[in-house]
Structure 1
Amino acid sequence: MRRLVMMLMPLMLVACESQNSEPTAAPAAVVSTDWDHIGFDAKEQRHSPLDLINTENVGELGIAWFKDLPDARGQEATPIVVDGKLYISTAWSKVFAYDAKTGEELWSYDPGVAGEKAVDACCDVVNRGVAINRGKLYFGTIDGRLIALDAITGARLWETQTTDNSKPYTITGAPRVVKNMVIIGNGGAEFGVRGYVSAYDTRSGSLKWRFYTVPNAEGKADGAASDEIFEKAAAATWGDGEWRESGGGGTVWDSIVYDEELDQLYFGVGNGNPWNHGLRSGGVGDNLFLSSIVAVNPDTGKYLWHYQETPAETWDYTATQPIIQAEMAIDGKMRKVLYHAPKNGFFFVIDRLDGTLISAEPFVEGINWATGYDLETGRPIENPDARFYKTGEPFIAIPGALGAHNWHPMSYNPKTGLVYIPAQQIPQGYEVPVSDIDKARERLGFNVGIGWAIGQLPDDKEVYKAAVAATTGQLVAFNPKTGKVEWSVDYPAAWNGGTMTTAGNLVFQGTSTGFFKAYSADKGAELLSLPMQSGIVSAPSTYMIDGEQYVAFLTSKGGAFPLVAGVAGGVTRQVPNIPRLVVLKLGGKAKLPALPEQSDVVWDPPQQTGTPEQVAAGKGLYGRNCLVCHGDSAVGNGFTPDLRVSGVLGDKQAWASVVTGGTLKQHGMVGFGSQLSAAQVENIRHYVVERSHWTKEHLPDMTAPTAR
C-alpha cells in the first residue's frame, strides 16, 4: 500500500555519529494515500487526511481522465484505490479495474447476471462497490452470488451462491472483509424474503456463520448464530400475521461496519414485509430486529446488543443507511459512539459499547410521524395518526418510504465535528389496502400491504406542480454534539449523491441535476460546481499518486427514486443519464464529449378504446404491478421506457407479448402472464393510453422526451 509520510516538524539534516545518537526529528504521521475501504477505513467516516486539494485551490479542479461505462442504469459504487489501481463495480454487477493515474483499463469482469433477475431488484440493478484484501477483490451480484477475483488479473478465484435463487433475493451492497472473512447481506424485503447476514472464508468461500434478522416462521432453529437470541427474546416480539408467509423482511442490504477497537461487527437492518405492521404481525410487537442496528461477535456471529430505531416499523423506515464510528466528548468524558442518520429523519448517537441511545434529534424539517425520542426508554414519541392501519385513515408521512436519508453515503470530518448528510424531502401517502389487487400476495411486484391508489397523483395540474415543489434535496451539515444542523445547502431535486470530506476543509458531493460540487467543510461556502452532463448518485473517493491528489466518482441516473417518482422527479427528468467514471485533479484538462442531440418524440397517442371502467381497473393494476419501475401515473424516468410513448402501446397483441410473454426479459421486463389475465393486461394498456392523452392535453411541457 502506498503511504505518504508527512512530518510533524521539518526534518533536521544532522548526521548520526553513533548508535546512541538522539533522534533528530519528531515521529512521523503515516497517512494513507489510497482509498482501500468502501468508507476509506474501518471507521467508515469517508474522511481523507489528504489536503493538497483545499479551500484555496479546489476551484482549479479539472478532469484528469474519464471512462464511459456500459449500461445506462444507476451507478452507485464508490471507487476503491489500492497501489495505483482503481476498482469499481457497476450496474448489473460488473467490475472494472483501471490504472488510477492514466485511466488505462486493466481488466473487466462480467458475472453474466440474467436480465430477468432485474424484476427482483426493488431499486434498480445497482451495485455499491467492492472490497479488496491481500490481493483479492470481493463483490456481490444481483442474483445473490459472492465472487472473489484476483485483483491483479481479474481472474475468478471462487464464487458462492449466498441466497436461494428461487426467491426474490438480490445483493446490491458492498461486502466487508473482517478477520479473514467476507461479510455480506442481501435485499428483497419488498417482495417477501427473510433477511440475514453471512460470513464466508476469504480463501475458499465456505460459510463460516449466519445471523438471521427475523425469526423462523415455523419456530425452528436454523443452526445459525441468531438461534439463541430468537429462542430467548426476539421471537416474542412477533405476533401472528403475514410475516409467517412472507419471511418477514429485515434484509441487511447495505451498511456493515467492523469496530477494530472493540472487535464488534455492526449492521443495519431493513424494513419488514409487508410494510404494514397491522398485516405483518397483527399490529402486535416491536418485530425485532427490523429497523435496528445490531452488534455481533465477528468471529462467531453471536448476538451482543441491538438498538431498534423504529419499533414496529410500518413506513419502510430502514436502518440500513451508512454507520459511522467516532469518539465524542459527553459530560467531559470521551465515549465511543456510532453516528446514524436513517430514513426516519432522526440523527442517532449510540454508545457502541452496549447500544445505549445517547441522543436522537431531527436532521430535516417537517417530520410528522413522531415528535422526538424518549431517552429513558429509547423509543419514539409517535403521532397516533401515523399508524394508518389503526386509524383506518390515509396518512401522508414526512419522510416517506424513500427516507429523509437513503443509501447515499454521509461523511464525518473530525476537525469540524460535523456529519455531512445527503438529505431529502419526499413525502408519501399510506393507506390500508382495499382492493383485491392490492391485497393479493404475488410472486412479481411489491408485496407491502398498502393501497397503491394513494401513491398515484390525481388528474390535477396544480397537484402535479405541488408534488414537484415538495420534493427537494439538501446537503445537511449536522453537529452531533449540539443535535442541530450547523449549515445546509438547498437543492431543487432529491436523490443527490453521497458525500466525502477531506483534511483540506472540503466536502464533495455530486447532484441529481448534473453538477459535482465542493463546499468548505466548516462554513458550507460553495467553492466548486463542475457540470458533468449527467446526474450523480454515487459518493466520491480521493487518492494520491506521484504527488498529485485525485478525486474519483461515477455519474448516472438510477435507483429507487427515479424509478417511481414520475412527475415528482421534477428537473431531473431532463438530465441525461450517462454512465461514466470521472477522475479530477488540479489543472486537469480533459474534456467530456459533446452530448448527442436528442431525437424528437412524436407524441401521438393511439385511439382510446377502453371504457372508463377499464381505465379505472387498469390504474389499480398499473399501481400494483408497474409503478415501481415505470413511474407514478406512467410518467417515465429517462432510463426505463416511458410507456406513454411506447412503440407497442397502440398494438394490443404486441403489448401483450411484452407484458405477458417476456419478450424483453433480457432487459428486465419479465412476463407477467402468471399473475395477469389477458383482460387485465389490456386494461393496463387502456390506462397508459389514457395517461398519454391526458399528458398531451394538460401538460404539454411534459411531452418532450425525457433525457436518456
Structure 2
Amino acid sequence: MKKLFWAAPVLAMGALGLASCEDMAGSGGSGITAEMLLGAADDNANWITHGRTYSEQRFSPLDKINAGNVGELGLAWFADMDTARGQEATPLVIDGKMYLTTAWSKVKAFDATTGEPLWDYDPEVPGETGVKVCCDVVNRGLAAWGDDLFLGTLDGRLVSLDRDSGEVNWEVVTVDQDMAYSITGAPRIIDGKVIIGNGGAEFGVRGYIAAYDVEDGSELWRFYTVPDGTEGDDAPEHLKAAAKTWNMEVLAGSDAIGGGGTVWDSMAYDPDLNLLYFGVGNGSPWNQAYRSPGEDGTGEGDNLYLSSIVAIRPDTGEYVWHYQTTPGETWDYTATQHIILADMEIEGKTRQVLMQAPKNGFFYVIDRATGEFISAKEYIPQNWAKGIDENGRPIFNPEARIDKTGKPAIVMPGPLGGHNWHPMAFHPGEGLVYIPAFEAAMAYAPEADWKADRARGFNVGFDLGAGDLPPDLNVRREIYGTVKGKLMAWDPVAQEARWTVEFPGPWNGGLLATGGDLVFQGNSSSEFAAYNAASGEKLWSFAAQTGIVAPPITYTVDGEQYVAVLAGWGGAYAITADGHMINEQGPVRNISRLLVFKIGGEAVLPDVLTLAEIPLDPPPSRAGAETIALGKVKYARYCAVCHAPAAVGSTELPDLRRSGTLSDAQSWQAVVHDGILKDNGMASFATSMSKDEIEAIRAYVIQRANEDKALEAADKKGGAKKVARR
C-alpha cells in the first residue's frame, strides 16, 4: 500500500536568512513576500507563482467546482489578444487581478472577475527576433515579488514592471543579442533573486541560467551548463568535470558552435533542502558526430550537462548534483520538461522525490536530495533505448545511434518528444501525475558536409529534408494518422498508467488538477475539457474555437471559484505540421483569447468567421533538377522550422506555396535576401545564403506547389481516399 504526501514545506524565514515580510513587500507590506511564496499551497484564492507552488504540482485544493457540478460550468468572460501567434502562458492572479503574457512578450492585466482591462505593456521586441526562435514567438509567463512583476522577453531582456500600472521599473539585457539567444520561459523568484534561463541551442548558443537582483536587475550569479572549450584552473568544478565528457578540441575550435544546453523552461525549488532544480536542453548540433566526435569520427562522451536535471544552491549558483536522462544525446531529447516535487512512500520508505517525463519517453523518479536514481519506465513507445539499467543509465539501441552508424533511422520519439513543454499536474490525493503525452517518430538522416551557421541556420547536423512526407495525400494522411495524442494518468510509484484518454492529434494543452476531483485540459481539437481525476471520464467540455496548448489555472474572488486558460494554437508542432492534417476536425486555427469560466457563467463567444484559403496557383516549374535539389536542402535548413517541412504550410504562418512572391523572383529576393518584412518576423538571410541559393529555394517551393496543386485536384475528384484516424 503506497502513501503519498503533498510536498509544500515552509521553512522558517530566519533559517533562509530572509528579510522580514514588511521589508520585502514593497509599499506598505502589500506585495508578494518570500513567506507568501513559501506558503503558496495554503493560498487558495490566488495563483502567485508559475506552477502555483515552488513544488510546481499545479494542484489546487479548490473544490467549489467539482465532479458533481462541473456540468454547470459556463463562460464567465473572455478577452481577445492582439497577437495571432501561439499562446503558452500561465496567468498569475493576485488579489482579484489577473496578469498574463502573450506572444511577442506582451503583458496584460485584467480584473479577474469581470475581465475589465487594467493595463498592457509591449516591450516592442524587434520582429526580426522571430527567426532566432525554434518554436514560435511564445512566452510562458511572469514572476511576482513585492509590488512588481518580472518578464523575460523574446530578445533576451529581463524586465521589471510595476504591478499596478505596468510601467517599467528597470530592464537589463541578459544575453548576447548578436547571437541567436531568446527567452520564452517564465522567471522564478527565490529570496529576492529573479532566475531565468534562455533558448537558442538549435542556433549554436551556449546555455546558462542566471540570477538577478529584484531591485535593480544586477546579475548575482551565472551557471553555465556546458564548457566552452577553454576551461582552465579557475573554472568552476562542475565545468571541469563536464570538460572530461566532451571533445574539447572541437568545442574550442574556430568552427565550433556553443554546444547547446540551454535552460529554456522548467524549474522547481525545495526550500527545506534549499535546492533549485532545472532542466537542461539538447546539444548543438543535435548530431553528436559533429558536436563531439571521437577518434573514429562518431559521437563520443556523455556531454554533460546536456539533457540533465541539475540541482544548485539558489543563493550562489553552486552546483550540488545532476542526473543525466540521455547521455550523449543526439535526437534533441531535452530534459527541460516540467519538473514536479513531491514526498511519497516507495517500498515502505518516505522519499523526497523529483519527477519528470522528458522528451526521451521515460518517466523518471529521482531522489531530490541526492540525485539518486529511483526508477524509470517508458510512458510512450520508444526505440532509442532497450531500457534503463539499475544505475539509471540508458541501454542504447545501437541502430538508433545515427551519430555512430552514419545511417538513417526512424526513431521514436522524434525531436518533439513523448512530452514537450506543456506542464503536467500532480494530484496528491490520487497519487497520479497527469501527462500531456503523444507519439510521433522521425526519420533522422546524417547531413553530409554539415557546417555550422550561428547567424540563421538550424544547427542540427541532420538532413531535415530527408524525412519529408511523400507527395501522395493518401500516404500523408496515413502517416499523420499514426501520430497520437494522449492524456495519461501516471502512477509514479508503480510506474504505470492508471488510465489514458486518446486524442485524434498531438500537441494538447497543459494540465490542472483540483480538489474537486477534476483534471482540466485544452486540446488540438479546439476543446477545453474537464475529466474525472480518478477515472479519466470526460465530464464537461467547451468549444474553444481554437487549439489550446497553454495550461489552465484556478482561483477565487469573493468566494467564487474560476478556471482560466489562455487559448491560441501555436508552438513547435503547430508551425511545422501540415495544418490540414493535424486532426480529423480539419485545420486548427489560431484565435488568441483568454477564457475564464465559473459555475453558471453565461457569456458567449462570437461566431467564427469563415476564412477563404488562398488557392494553390503557382507559376510553372521550369528550374532544373539540380537547382530544385539545392533549394530543397536550403529550405530544410533555413525555412522548414517556421514554414513546415516540404513547404506543406501550417495554419499559423504563411504557406509559401500560396505566396504571391513565387511568381516574381525580384519580390522573393526582396523578402528573403533584403529583409523588407523583418518587422513582421521575416529577417534577411543574406548572411547565410547567396541570391542563387535563395532563388533555388523559390524553385523548390514552386515545384512543391505544383505537385500539391495536382494532388489537391485529384483528391477533390476522389483520386485520394481518406484514411480514417485511429
Band of TM-score, shorter chain: over 0.9
Measure, in 2, the Cα distance between the counterparts of 1:354 and 1:507: 31
Determine the structure 1 residue equivalent to 2:37: none
Determine the structure 2 residue equivalent to 1:268: 279
Provide the identity percentage. 52
Structure 2 residues without counterparts, runs of 5 or longer: 1-40, 294-298, 718-726
SS in 2 for 1:648: helix
Determine the structure 1 residue equivalent to 2:427: 413
2:387 corresponds to which letter in structure 1?
Answer: G
1:147–1:644 Cα change, 3 Å: same
Residues 356-375 of structure 1: matches in 2 within 5 Å? 356-364=372-380, 366-375=381-390
Q: Write the deviation string for residues 646-678 of structure 1: whole angstroms up to 9, x where unpaired.
A: 111111111111111101101111111222222
TM-score normalised over the length of structure 2:
0.90
Residues 317-336 of structure 1: matches in 2 within 5 Å? 317-336=333-352
2:236 corresponds to which letter in structure 1?
Answer: D
Determine the structure 2 residue equivalent to 1:98: 110
Q: CA deviation at 1:216?
A: 2.2
2:411 corresponds to which letter in structure 1?
Answer: A
1:139–1:442 Cα change, 3 Å: closer
Residues 443-454 of structure 1: matches in 2 within 5 Å? 443-454=455-466
Check whether the contact 1:603–1:703 (CA below 8 A) recurs between aligned residues: no
Determine the structure 2 residue equivalent to 1:227: 236
Measure, in 2, the Cα distance between the counterparts of 1:191 and 1:626: 13
1:641–1:571 Cα change, 3 Å: farther
Determine the structure 2 residue equivalent to 1:251: 262
Structure 1 residues without counterparts, runs of 5 or longer: 1-28
Residues 209-358 of structure 1: matches in 2 within 5 Å? 209-220=221-232, 227-231=236-240, 233-240=241-248, 242-244=250-252, 245-282=256-293, 283-358=299-374
Measure, in 1, the Cα distance between the counterparts of 2:156 and 2:400: 35
SS in 2 for 1:401: coil
1:170–1:442 Cα change, 3 Å: closer
Measure, in 2, the Cα distance between the counterparts of 1:450 and 1:242: 18
Measure, in 2, the Cα distance between the counterparts of 1:617 and 1:30: 60
SS in 2 for 1:199: strand
1:214–1:291 Cα change, 3 Å: same
Higher alpha-carbon deviation: 438-447 or 155-164: 438-447
Check whether the contact 1:147–1:160 (CA below 8 A) recurs between aligned residues: yes
1:85 corresponds to which letter in structure 2?
Answer: K
Q: Write the deviation string for residues 444-464 of structure 1: whole angstroms up to 9, x where unpaired.
A: 120111112222123333431
Matched, 1:660 2:673: yes
Q: CA deviation at 1:602?
A: 3.1
Measure, in 2, the Cα distance between the counterparts of 1:514 and 1:701: 29
Matched, 1:54 2:70: no
TM-score normalised over the length of structure 1:
0.92
Measure, in 2, the Cα distance between the counterparts of 1:603 and 1:238: 48
Determine the structure 2 residue equivalent to 1:604: 617
Higher alpha-carbon deviation: 464-473 or 127-136: 464-473
Higher alpha-carbon deviation: 328-337 or 235-244: 235-244
Determine the structure 1 residue equivalent to 2:122: 110
1:578–1:249 Cα change, 3 Å: same
Q: Write the deviation string for residues 166-187 of structure 1: whole angstroms up to 9, x where unpaired.
A: 1100000000000110000000
2:307 corresponds to which letter in structure 1?
Answer: S
Check whether the contact 1:512–1:572 (CA below 8 A) recurs between aligned residues: no
Determine the structure 2 residue equivalent to 1:582: 595
Check whether the contact 1:31–1:49 (CA below 8 A) recurs between aligned residues: no
Equivalenced residue count is 668
Check whether the contact 1:119–1:445 (CA below 8 A) recurs between aligned residues: no
Measure, in 2, the Cα distance between the counterparts of 1:116 and 1:172: 16
Check whether the contact 1:140–1:173 (CA below 8 A) recurs between aligned residues: yes
Determine the structure 1 residue equivalent to 2:36: none
Candidates 180, 198, 201, aligned match of 1:168 = 180
Check whether the contact 1:509–1:517 (CA below 8 A) recurs between aligned residues: yes
Q: CA deviation at 1:441?
A: 3.1
* CA-based RMSD: 1.7
1:75 corresponds to which letter in structure 2?
Answer: Q
Determine the structure 2 residue equivalent to 1:381: 395
Determine the structure 2 residue equivalent to 1:526: 538
Determine the structure 2 residue equivalent to 1:4: none
1:277–1:555 Cα change, 3 Å: same
Measure, in 1, the Cα distance between the counterparts of 2:124 and 2:604: 32
SS in 1 for 2:660: coil
2:699 corresponds to which letter in structure 1?
Answer: H
Determine the structure 2 residue equivalent to 1:427: 441
Measure, in 2, the Cα distance between the counterparts of 1:97 and 1:470: 41
Q: Write the deviation string for residues 101-147 of structure 1: whole angstroms up to 9, x where unpaired.
A: 11111111111100001110111110000011221100100110001
Q: Write the deviation string for residues 414-463 of structure 1: whole angstroms up to 9, x where unpaired.
A: 000000000011211112112x5x54535212011111222212333343
1:289 corresponds to which letter in structure 2?
Answer: Y
Q: CA deviation at 1:598?
A: 1.1
Q: Write the deviation string for residues 148-195 of structure 1: whole angstroms up to 9, x where unpaired.
A: 111111111111110010110000000000011000000000000110
2:279 corresponds to which letter in structure 1?
Answer: G
Q: CA deviation at 1:572?
A: 7.2
